[in-house]
Structure 1
Amino acid sequence: MAAEVLEMSGNGELEQTSAMDVTEDPPPPPPEISEENGGAAVVPEAPADPDSLSEAPAADNAERAGLPSDFECLWTAANNNPQDFTSWTDLLQYCEQEGNFTASRRALEAFLARYPLCYGYWKKYADLERRAGDNSKAEEVCIRGLKAISLSVDLWIHYINLLLGTLDMNLSDSPERIRSVFEDAVVAAGLDFHSDRLWDLYVEWEKEQGNMKKAAAVLDRVLKVPTQLYNTHYDKFKENLNNNPPKEVLSSEEYEELRALCRQSQKAERAEQAQEVEEERPPGEEEPTTPEGTDSEELMQKIREQALLHRDKVYQDNEAEVRKRWHFEEAIKRPYFHVKPLDRLQLQAWHSYLDWEIAELNGDHKDPAAQSDPNQEGTEESEVTPQHHEASTGDSVARDDCRVRILFERCLIACALYEEVWTRYIQYLEPQSVDVKRAVYKRACEIHLHNKPNIHMQWATFEERHGNFTEARRVLEALEKNVPGLVVVRIRRAALERRAGQLDQSEALLTEAVAASKEKPTLHAFYSIKLARLLLKVGSNPSRARSVLQEALEISPDNDKLHLNLLELEASGDPRASAEAVQECVTRALAAPLTSHAKLLLSQRGLQFAEEYSGSIKSVLSVYEEHQKLLNEIGKTKREAENGDEDPQKLSKNEDSSTVAAAEEVPPTMPQVPITNPPPSVIGTDTSAQAGYGAYSSWYQQPQYGSYGGYGYQNTWNYNQAYYPPC
């Protein structure tokens, strides 16, 4: 791919690599199809840097004595701030300049564990081991690198050249091993649009081995692959065929088939000619014959023509596929990995390319050539570009699926730090096996996205959905370790344990969070409410839930959500036994430093409870009187502020003006009480779940009691005036 001609230098800059000269690019095919990148552009959030790597153990005295003088300083800087890419490249450049093998190996191991997509450093690492005389270690490094970035054409070529330089080619199994590596390479990276150099090296190596048939077979395969230098492969095939006997280039089956066809055609032509010359031949002269077992040059030329005619269709179809992709390929300016964020247009270019390739697989696009000839059926020659709106074979669908996955892998090299691309890839792989998707999650979370919570939580959900609670638990624990203090992760862990039937563990996680957050009152209140809900609703233990909320109120007496939850807990019990506890909650709230709005809500809820469940009218009147006093106090405060006695800015922003207005209109001799409809249960309602797991910006948003049921607490009762006579 295009990324392979660029390499990270020691200081993080890009420099040209000399692994292999690139053939001159052909002119782009005529743009028969013009597709613009549509859709609204999305500006991605700058990728968060991975969490800090744990520092490697200190080297022993013997090793430390052999390290360069400034190594420890640069090593510490890189490990203390592992997301700083420049600190790593400074360390690697220093080690390379010093020529210290131990330091270089140690630095490269740590760097590549964090940034495995920097293929240039895998090459440097392999060369380091080879210079040290350890060819097996150099080969092992190449294999590790190819597992991390299998699309790297440069790294495949480097590995093959390493084998060619170290294997004894006189051994019988050495050529087969090289051929096996070539096959692995073209399977892994051969469908890449920029894989031409790999195919060319494979062809040239087969020629050097004297296997013209196998070289031609490789060219036959690449003729069906849309690559940047697609036309050069066809030129090479024609050159090989014209400069060598067809029998040495074509497979035995194809050669015999074409030979028989051409001989039959030649015989028919000679029969026609024989009739014309029969009359002119002298009597007794016989027709000259060709020696048995020999083929004329004329026959060889006919075989060549037929072989090329057979491939012309393949070449034309492949050219059409290249033309479709050319616009997308030109739009990609940074196909290599870098920690710097991609600009908006580059990210959009990748998404547009993926949209198009997936649409091709699903048959949402029609090929222009097929539209011009709707009766044309897919042939063997054009199976590399199957028409998806026709009946496609299983092989063609699998091949196109492979192309989509190759494009995703290319995209993930440049966009490795973007959750959205990994998530999209996993969604595309939905029909695949669990192990395939798990492997993608593992790469994303354990290598590239240590600090991105969404992809980790998706992985945990994926594992739980497939019954693997142990792995889901491990994923969330690792995330909480990487990103300590993230509330949503602790809540997810508690919910996972509850669903797994581990209620004690779920309770322990929330209890631990409550204890650890005492220095942060708002967070402490949030966890306390979560724990109290769990104890009440799942554990059926109202007494412990009450204790949790009461302890939280000692730390945060001004938290209205704690008062509301405790009040609803008491109101949810047996009404005959809860009256005193409910009024105690209201009394405590009215004495607390709460806003007028919060006090009014709690007082209204207490009055509602008394009206609905009290067994004595005296108790109802007592609660009513206290509520009236509160209304009068709020109204007096409002009037004083309006008269200039108090700065209105000091009043609570949450105070409801309509409630105060209603209170002012109450005649002193004719008290009225606001009618209330029952508010939704606070302790039984997790409002944070309304916006999904991640919507913790509104932890404490409770339903507005004033508008519940369409009535509102601000409305006055329209009962008979004598229902509650003046006291």
Structure 2
Amino acid sequence: MAEVGCEEMSGNGELEESSAMEAPEIPAPPPIEMAEMSEENGSATMGSEAPVGPDPASFSIPPVAEDEDGELPADFERLWKAAHDNPQDFTSWTDLLQYCEQESHITASRRALVAFLARYPLCYGYWKKFADLERRAGYNNKAEEVCVQGLQAIPLSVDLWIHYINLLLGTLDMNLPESPKRIRSVFEDAVAAAGLDFHSDRLWDLYVEWEKEQGNMRNAAAVLDRVLKVPTQLYNTHYDKFKEHLSSHEPKQVLSPEEYEELRMLCRQSQKAECAEQAQEEEEEEERPPGEEEPTTLEGTDTEELMQKIREQVLVRRDKVYQDNEGEVRNRWHYEDAIKRPYFHVKPLDRHQLRAWHSYLDWEIAQLSEDTKDPNQDPNQAATEGSEVMTQPQERLEDAAVAHDDHRVRILYERCLIACALYEEFWTRYVQYLEPQSVDEARAVYRRACEIHLIYKPNIHMQWATFEERHGDLTGARRVLETLEQNLPGLAVVRLRRAALERRAGQLDRSEALLLEAVAESKEKPTLHAFYSIKLARLLLKLGRNPSRARRVLHEALEISPDNDKLHLNLLELEVSGDPWASAEAVQECVTRALAAPLAPHTKILFSQRGLQFTEGYFYTLRSVLSVYEGHQKLMTELGGTKRGAENGDEDAEKLIKSEDGSAVATHVPPTMPHVPITTPPPPVMGADMSAQAGYGGYSSWYQQPQYGSYGYQNTWNYNQGYYPPS
């Protein structure tokens, strides 16, 4: 199981692993020099409909009783507050749990365990501690409820299944006829949920030994038959136990009636053929005296020789299954060996461990793809009926092998999500695997990830919202984003996702209301307020077709952040994008406002250049153009723009040569290409949502110093080449 080998108390609540049975020595990897695996693979015994992951809808913890032990311990409230103030601090929780355990206070321990397991349900050791706490207090029913809740949260926990079974064995009255049936039913649930785990040997062994204790040798053999087809770490010990079990009992007591009668008839026919051949040989050698009859045979008796032949045939059939299973173990061994921490812990995994899980999943899925090409594959399943364990049809047993079915892939994903529960990439990968098969199952995985393990990870929540919107559940998408914003208030990308969702749904008023709310709530944070104001202005201008409201939003934002160059740029582009004849005065006001604002010198030069460009393109009189040009030149001189202009190429257009008297004169050098007046395009601020081009994760650039070089304003305006008088 995914927990085997856990030795850190802080991770799963146990100092060292406790088990119901002593595991035998771990064998060496299966030898490489083996016969090739059979091409026809049968089925692993667990059906694909068996539950794999927990259902959060059914996940609940027994309520805390407050009527025991009186007042809480002295330091409980302090430790409780520390854990709840920072619920992501795992150490605070373990300190609280350790203190409650030392105080032996059942009410405090209950409260702490309930709160802890709601946040870290994969810590199987604490479920065991919780159950033991209730059992020691005499509440056997509560102990059982705790185990059931724990198994809903972590159904692949072999240790927790064994703990639950031992609890039932210690509390149920086995003299009652329903008790064995219930134990067997729990065993079947356990092997269905966790029996395909590579480390599930102890669970299978416990099942076999319990059936033997009940005197059901046939059921014990049936369980061994099933585990022979499951690739586990101790696969070879199960075959040894089957052979020992077969040799210690009569075949009739071990085999199913159908298989026994089949093998008995085959062996008897074989014996008769051998006897007939032997009798014929004897007749040829010596004739029988007259009147002497042929020796009679006991048709109804089974000799020891016949029993031995039956055993041999049984092992011949199982040996092929064992060889196929050994090949599967050999294929998986190096993947399993690369996994060093198969249990849950809050400590990060190194890259080698993450890569090992990805490689293992890739291989298992590749095997599934290969097996689906075999049209003759016929999966077989085992089930129980009453008190008898049903076995597979024996005519199929010879061809049975380990199936690379979908259920096995899901089991591996669930194992991975125990060790890697805090990594979004594996949850996303699991959803991508399940979504083509079942939208509901994929949704359940998203729910487990976002509501239990990754509450504060925004990316997977937004992926879930996209998933719901893609499948037509807009209400679900809204709920996901609203919950995320409650957990992570102030995250701009979430609010924008909500607004975009409403816009795509045709609810423009809701989208506008969300941005208006964001603008109102962010007034104490000028940078964020400006960001939301620009988004709202774009919505009002481009979709609402209401430039006056967009203009008002930007004006109000500038009152709070007059030094925000992005606000000035967006307001300027709003005015430029309107009717050029009606907005000429508004454009000049924007430029004047920007030049008076506390902006950087090079930013002011950009605004002046943009104003000059607009004037030159749309003003009627040359007097107006020259007036704006003179103001621009004056600003360039005041802010040091002349040198900047020279660096950007003004001097490249004119070659300075010396006359005979030594004075420098400007001589125009004929250009290699016809001169085209520079027309710098406006900054793409109001025209397009740059964040949409960069994806939803591109908002970090908002908080960086703007790089105006991308707007195309590097070069100064070369209007003094024969168009404007030299200044």
Indicate yes or no: 2:3 matched with 1:3: yes
Residue of structure 2 equivalent to 1:679: 682
**Relative to structure 1, is the Cα distance of residues 63 and 664 closer, same or farther in structure 2, using a 3 angstrom cutoff?**
farther
- Aligned to 2:568, the other structure's residue is in SS state helix
Residues 648, 715 of structure 2: 8 Å contact kept = no
TM-superposed CA distance for 1:612, in Å, is 2.9
- TM-score, normalized by length of structure 1? 0.84
Q: Distance in 2 between matches of 1:714 and 1:94?
A: 72
TM-superposed CA distance for 1:131, in Å, is 2.3
Residue in structure 1 matching 2:340, options 301, 317, 333? 333
Q: Distance in 1 between matches of 2:590 and 2:694?
A: 30
Residue in structure 2 matching 1:480, options 485, 499, 520? 485
Q: Distance in 1 between matches of 2:580 and 2:519?
A: 30
- TM-score, normalized by length of structure 2? 0.84
- Aligned to 2:533, the other structure's residue is in SS state helix
Q: Distance in 2 between matches of 1:276 and 1:32?
A: 44
Q: Distance in 2 between matches of 1:380 and 1:286?
A: 43
Q: Deviations over 1:76-126 (max 9, x none)?
A: 222222222222222222222222211111111111111111111111111
**Relative to structure 1, is the Cα distance of residues 457 and 661 closer, same or farther in structure 2, using a 3 angstrom cutoff?**
farther
TM-superposed CA distance for 1:701, in Å, is 8.0
TM-superposed CA distance for 1:7, in Å, is 5.9
| Greater displacement, 64-73 / 523-532 | 64-73
> In the TM superposition, what are the counterparts of 1:104-253 in structure 2 within 5 Å?
104-253=109-258
TM-superposed CA distance for 1:718, in Å, is 8.8
> In the TM superposition, what are the counterparts of 1:519-530 in structure 2 within 5 Å?
519-530=524-535
TM-superposed CA distance for 1:60, in Å, is 11
Residue of structure 2 equivalent to 1:441: 446
Q: Distance in 2 between matches of 1:70 and 1:63?
A: 18
Q: Distance in 1 between matches of 2:606 and 2:398?
A: 78
Q: Distance in 1 between matches of 2:103 and 2:598?
A: 67
> In the TM superposition, what are the counterparts of 1:88-103 in structure 2 within 5 Å?
88-103=93-108
Residue of structure 1 equivalent to 2:84: 79
Q: Distance in 2 between matches of 1:636 and 1:6?
A: 68
Indicate yes or no: 2:563 matched with 1:558: yes
Q: Distance in 1 between matches of 2:512 and 2:443?
A: 29
**Relative to structure 1, is the Cα distance of residues 99 and 77 closer, same or farther in structure 2, using a 3 angstrom cutoff?**
same
Q: Distance in 2 between matches of 1:661 and 1:13?
A: 78
Q: Distance in 1 between matches of 2:115 and 2:568?
A: 52
Residue of structure 1 equivalent to 2:548: 543
> In the TM superposition, what are the counterparts of 1:372-383 in structure 2 within 5 Å?
381-383=398-400
Residue in structure 2 matching 1:716, options 710, 715, 718? 718
**Relative to structure 1, is the Cα distance of residues 584 and 167 closer, same or farther in structure 2, using a 3 angstrom cutoff?**
same
**Relative to structure 1, is the Cα distance of residues 182 and 712 closer, same or farther in structure 2, using a 3 angstrom cutoff?**
same
Residues 118, 337 of structure 1: 8 Å contact kept = yes
Q: Distance in 2 between matches of 1:526 and 1:628?
A: 32
Q: Distance in 1 between matches of 2:667 and 2:101?
A: 92
Indicate yes or no: 2:297 matched with 1:294: no
**Relative to structure 1, is the Cα distance of residues 155 and 576 closer, same or farther in structure 2, using a 3 angstrom cutoff?**
same
> In the TM superposition, what are the counterparts of 1:611-630 in structure 2 within 5 Å?
611-630=616-635
**Relative to structure 1, is the Cα distance of residues 495 and 470 closer, same or farther in structure 2, using a 3 angstrom cutoff?**
same
Q: Point out where structure 2 has 5 or more consecutive residues left out of the alignment.
A: 35-60, 375-394, 657-663, 669-674
TM-superposed CA distance for 1:207, in Å, is 1.7
Q: AA paired with 1:553? A: L
Residue in structure 1 matching 2:694, options 691, 696, 701? 691
Q: Distance in 2 between matches of 1:704 and 1:173?
A: 77
Q: Distance in 2 between matches of 1:170 and 1:86?
A: 46
Residue in structure 2 matching 1:658, options 626, 648, 658? 648
TM-superposed CA distance for 1:70, in Å, is 2.4
Q: Distance in 2 between matches of 1:383 and 1:617?
A: 94
**Relative to structure 1, is the Cα distance of residues 498 and 281 closer, same or farther in structure 2, using a 3 angstrom cutoff?**
same
Q: Which has the higher contact order (CA 8 A, sep 6+)?
A: 2
Indicate yes or no: 2:424 matched with 1:419: yes
Q: Deviations over 1:255-284 (max 9, x none)?
A: 111112112221111111111112425313
**Relative to structure 1, is the Cα distance of residues 664 and 541 closer, same or farther in structure 2, using a 3 angstrom cutoff?**
farther
**Relative to structure 1, is the Cα distance of residues 350 and 681 closer, same or farther in structure 2, using a 3 angstrom cutoff?**
closer
- Aligned to 2:4, the other structure's residue is in SS state helix
Residue of structure 1 equivalent to 2:260: 255
**Relative to structure 1, is the Cα distance of residues 90 and 656 closer, same or farther in structure 2, using a 3 angstrom cutoff?**
farther
**Relative to structure 1, is the Cα distance of residues 489 and 668 closer, same or farther in structure 2, using a 3 angstrom cutoff?**
farther
Q: Deviations over 1:273-306 (max 9, x none)?
A: 1111124253132222232321222111111111
**Relative to structure 1, is the Cα distance of residues 61 and 435 closer, same or farther in structure 2, using a 3 angstrom cutoff?**
closer
**Relative to structure 1, is the Cα distance of residues 350 and 536 closer, same or farther in structure 2, using a 3 angstrom cutoff?**
same
Residue of structure 2 equivalent to 1:27: 28
Residue of structure 2 equivalent to 1:384: 401
**Relative to structure 1, is the Cα distance of residues 451 and 208 closer, same or farther in structure 2, using a 3 angstrom cutoff?**
same
Q: Point out where structure 1 has 5 or more consecutive residues left out of the alignment.
A: 34-55, 368-377, 386-395, 640-654
Q: Distance in 2 between matches of 1:406 and 1:449?
A: 21
TM-superposed CA distance for 1:382, in Å, is 4.7
RMSD of equivalent CA atoms: 3.3
TM-superposed CA distance for 1:576, in Å, is 2.0
**Relative to structure 1, is the Cα distance of residues 460 and 171 closer, same or farther in structure 2, using a 3 angstrom cutoff?**
same
Residues 334, 414 of structure 1: 8 Å contact kept = yes
- Aligned to 2:582, the other structure's residue is in SS state helix
Residues 654, 666 of structure 2: 8 Å contact kept = no
Q: Distance in 1 between matches of 2:186 and 2:635?
A: 85
- Aligned to 2:282, the other structure's residue is in SS state helix
Residue of structure 2 equivalent to 1:371: none
**Relative to structure 1, is the Cα distance of residues 592 and 72 closer, same or farther in structure 2, using a 3 angstrom cutoff?**
closer
Residues 7, 120 of structure 1: 8 Å contact kept = no
- Aligned to 1:275, the other structure's residue is in SS state helix
Q: Distance in 2 between matches of 1:662 and 1:587?
A: 31
Aligned length: 663
Q: Distance in 1 between matches of 2:68 and 2:78?
A: 16
Residue of structure 2 equivalent to 1:17: 18
TM-superposed CA distance for 1:630, in Å, is 2.9
Q: AA paired with 1:3? A: E
Residues 19, 162 of structure 2: 8 Å contact kept = no
Residues 655, 667 of structure 2: 8 Å contact kept = no
Q: Deviations over 1:318-365 (max 9, x none)?
A: 001111111121222211111111123222222222222222222399
Q: Distance in 2 between matches of 1:490 and 1:442?
A: 21
Q: Deviations over 1:575-601 (max 9, x none)?
A: 221111111111211222222332232
**Relative to structure 1, is the Cα distance of residues 128 and 635 closer, same or farther in structure 2, using a 3 angstrom cutoff?**
closer
